[in-house]
Amino acid sequence: MNFLRAKFAASPIYVRVAPFVIFLALTYCQQLFGETGAYWFYMIKTLVGAWLVWEMRPFVAEMRWAFSWEAVVVGVIVCIMWIGLDGLYPRLTELGSEWNPHEPFGQGSTLAWFFVLVRLAGSSVIVPPFEEVFYRSFLYRYLVKLDFLAMPLGQFHALSFVVTSIIFGLVHPERWLAGILCGLAYQWLVVRKNRLGDALAAHAITNFLLGLWVLWKGAWNFW
């Protein structure tokens, strides 16, 4: 653990990129563990993600949650957009397997609801710090300046603003257009507030509301 902390302390790039890459790799590996194993692996991934966020925190000054009316509005609008645009444009890939633990573990079972809560917590609390730190803090500034810390979070750069959002959208190929618009909205928050915290909050609100929609409508394909 001391080795990881030393690497985080030594490199502002490493501390913002390595945890994101690790979390992404774990997400990819999730599909390799079969129908029931994927749920257990997601739980392990969420715990590893929580530990990585905790280890990152002392070395990523901008990773501080902040709440504002703009964050709430953006979070709600992005959720509505993510749901409302679905199916109105072509997907770049087919939808993956639905995340519905009630099927393998029994409808309404305790274990099924446990994994629902794990998913809701993971997507709302753990995912936003990784993605916002990597895309909205690191990549947005790194595309403008290699010494990215010298660039204020509130500085607007049109090309990087668009390119970063496109990249964010393309890593969600099944909902790429919503992903691009989502990236633009969160990056706008960062530039407007000159801090990352509002985008963290907005991202968390979006994912939490989306999770509630999934449970309310049984729209498991959004997970």
User: How do residues 146-158 score in pLDDT, each as one tens digit?
Assistant: 999 999 999 999 9
The per-residue pLDDT of the chain, averaged, comes to: 96
Provide mean pLDDT across the span 91-119: 93
Q: State the amino acid at position 170 in one-letter form.
A: L
The set of long-range contacts for 141-144, using a CB threshold of 8 Å and a minimum separation of 24, is: 142/13
- Residues 19 and 31: their CA atoms lie apart, in Å, by 20
- Residues 190 and 43: their CA atoms lie apart, in Å, by 30
Q: What is the pLDDT of residue 96?
A: 78
Provide mean pLDDT across the span 202-208: 98
156: tokens are 């607007």
User: How do residues 165-191 score in pLDDT, each as one tens digit?
Assistant: 999 999 999 999 999 999 999 999 999
Q: What is the pLDDT of residue 95?
A: 87
Q: What is the pLDDT of residue 97?
A: 75
Q: What is the pLDDT of residue 100?
A: 95
Provide mean pLDDT across the span 208-223: 96
- Residues 173 and 167: their CA atoms lie apart, in Å, by 10
Provide mean pLDDT across the span 3-32: 93
**Whether the predicted pLDDT of 4 surpasses 90:** no
1: tokens are 């653990």
**Cα separation of the two ends of the chain:** 32
134: tokens are 């990597």
